[in-house]
Amino acid sequence: MTLALGCIADDYTGASDLANSLAKAGLRTVQTIGVPDAGLALPEIDAIVCAFKIRSVPAADAVAAALQAETWLRGQGAGHVLYKVCSTFDSTDDGNIGPVTDALRARAGEPIAIVNSAFPEAGRTIYQGHLFVGALPLNESPLKDHPLNPMTDANLVRVLARQSRSGVGLVDRKTIAAGAAAVAARLAALVQEGKGAAIADTIEDADLETLGRVAMTHRVSTGASGLGLGIARALVASGRVSAAATGTAGLEVVGGPAACLAGSCSQATLGQIAEAERIMPVLRLDAGRLVTDGIAETDRAIAFAAERLGAGPVLVASSGTPAEVAAVQAKFGRDAAGHAIEAGMARIAEALVARGVRRLVVAGGETSGAVVERLAIPAFRLGPEIAPGVPVLHALGIAGGPMVLALKSGNFGAPTFFADALKLMP
């Protein structure tokens, strides 16, 4: 197997978002959980996305995981490695986008890396270095209330500089509109100024195609699935990947009980849970009790689901409003609360799978990471797209017959997302 592209994703929903964009562009893509064991049989593929849960861990741990994956991906033949971060640049001033980008760039021996989290299809655009979520600057969007990485500055040049050893510059829209040669010249000028990272503006997919062409002349870049799309299109246009390839599988029937779990507290997910209440039984967990008495609270959820699974899908949610999240965090601490709630959701998932669930929808990147790790699923191949950035995933390398999952990024999906997902997971 010789890979055209190797990717390292900082969370699991982000990984499936990227894998979806690569597959849609025609790259035969597999998503692995971390670096796979040597024994895992992989089909003939063009791209691998190694999914990690390193968005909100200490920077040194994120760097170590990313470097281990980089070594493995280069060993598989990857000429370019993309570090996949969130389209809303979720991170803190302590990391991890800056430290991981610095480390991958140093390892690759590159003077500068393109950093671009735009994803126009999902409303993430960048102008003069400022990230917009729909019509709102990042710091006015719901991301200002994120439970783990509240984003309070829309200027990505500043945000990245605070967490990087490298100087950070800007490749503005005018330069990108002038084409790949102009972008390459701007990057060279930034290197002369001593910069090691360049935030790139993006308004539309055509900008990403230009950036993709330039990124392919470097060994490493950092971005969201928009940059992945740009790189994938550049690979197809250059003939390095066959344009005839088809990246995604069609609809496959798995059957059996289905369940949904939500740990995301994003505005989008809160709306989707409210909508799901119209069509399936929904249990709202007591987040504080998940922290203080996790076994009892998760047992309550398992019993709730077990009683109802025979009749149709159920949804179990820990999700709370910003005020509820703030209250839980004030009482128990942000990280302790987050970890305890994630562990509870993972325990519920494990129990539901033991009761026959083979169709599972999970909302939230950290939540998905905890669930997929507990279920010990080593890899996924891509199925149909449910919503921009959210594909159906077919588990690879597990016992007990076929299983499909959807791992939804907190902010993605229509209000009817849970019903939309289950429709494509028959």
Ligand X SMILES: Nc1ncnc2c1ncn2[C@@H]1O[C@H](COP(=O)(O)OP(=O)(O)OP(=O)(O)O)[C@@H](O)[C@H]1O
Ligand Y SMILES: O=C(O)[C@@H](O)C(=O)CO
Binding site for ligand X (CB under 6 A): 11, 13, 146-148, 263-266, 269, 287, 318-320, 324-325, 328-329, 337-338, 341-342, 364-367, 409-411
Q: How far is the CB of 213 from ligand X (least distance, A)?
A: 29
Q: How far is the CB of 362 from ligand Y (least distance, A)?
A: 12
Query: Within positions 334 to 393, which residues make up the interface with ligand Y, using CB under 6 A?
Result: 365, 389
Residue 87 interaction partner, one of ligand X, ligand Y, none, beta carbon < 5-8 Å per kind: ligand Y
State how far the Cα of 149 lies from the Cα of 157, in Å rounded to an integer: 17
Query: Which positions from 194 to 233 touch ligand Y by CB under 6 A, shown as an x/- string?
Result: ------------------------------xx--------
- Give the Cβ contact number of residue 372 at 10 Å: 28
Q: Residues near 403 by Cβ (< 8 Å), separated by ≥ 6?
A: 254, 353, 358, 359, 360, 377, 394, 395
- Shorter beta-carbon distance to ligand Y: residue 86 or 302: 86
- Shorter beta-carbon distance to ligand X: residue 166 or 269: 269
Query: Which positions from 106 to 125 touch ligand Y by CB under 6 A, shown as an x/- string?
Result: -------------x------
Asked if 251 contacts 384 with a C-beta cutoff of 8 angstroms, the reply is yes
Tell me: does residue 54 bind ligand Y (CB under 6 A). Answer: no
Q: Return the closest-CA partner of residue 147 out of 1, 362, 390, 326.
A: 326
- Shorter beta-carbon distance to ligand Y: residue 32 or 409: 409
State how far the Cα of 344 lies from the Cα of 289, in Å rounded to an integer: 10
State how far the Cα of 125 lies from the Cα of 118, in Å rounded to an integer: 5
Q: How far is the CB of 321 from ligand X (least distance, A)?
A: 8
Residue 48 interaction partner, one of ligand X, ligand Y, none, beta carbon < 5-8 Å per kind: none
Tell me: does residue 14 bind ligand Y (CB under 6 A). Answer: yes
How many residues contact ligand Y, by CB under 6 A? 13
- Shorter beta-carbon distance to ligand X: residue 13 or 96: 13
Options 81-89, 159-167, 336-344, 413-421: segment touching ligand Y (CB under 6 A): 81-89
Q: Return the closest-CA partner of residue 1 out of 35, 37, 29.
A: 29
State how far the Cα of 100 lies from the Cα of 61, in Å rounded to an integer: 10
Tell me: does residue 20 bind ligand Y (CB under 6 A). Answer: no
Q: Residues near 280 by Cβ (< 8 Å), separated by ≥ 6?
A: 260, 312, 313, 314, 315, 418
- Shorter beta-carbon distance to ligand Y: residue 26 or 369: 369
Tell me: does residue 17 bind ligand Y (CB under 6 A). Answer: yes
CA quadruple 199, 218, 196, 89: dihedral, nearest 10: 40
State how far the Cα of 203 lies from the Cα of 124, in Å rounded to an integer: 8
Paired residues of 200 in beta bridges: 171
Q: At what angle do helices 97-108 and 59-75 cross, to 10 degrees?
A: 40
- Shorter beta-carbon distance to ligand Y: residue 263 or 344: 263
Query: Which residue, judged by CB position, is nearest to ligand X in the bound state?
Result: 410
Asked if 377 contacts 395 with a C-beta cutoff of 8 angstroms, the reply is yes
Q: CB-side exposure of 21: number of CA atoms within 13 Å?
A: 30
- Shorter beta-carbon distance to ligand Y: residue 52 or 72: 52
**Residue ranges in contact with ligand Y by CB under 6 A:** 11, 13-14, 17, 86-88, 119, 224-225, 365, 389, 409
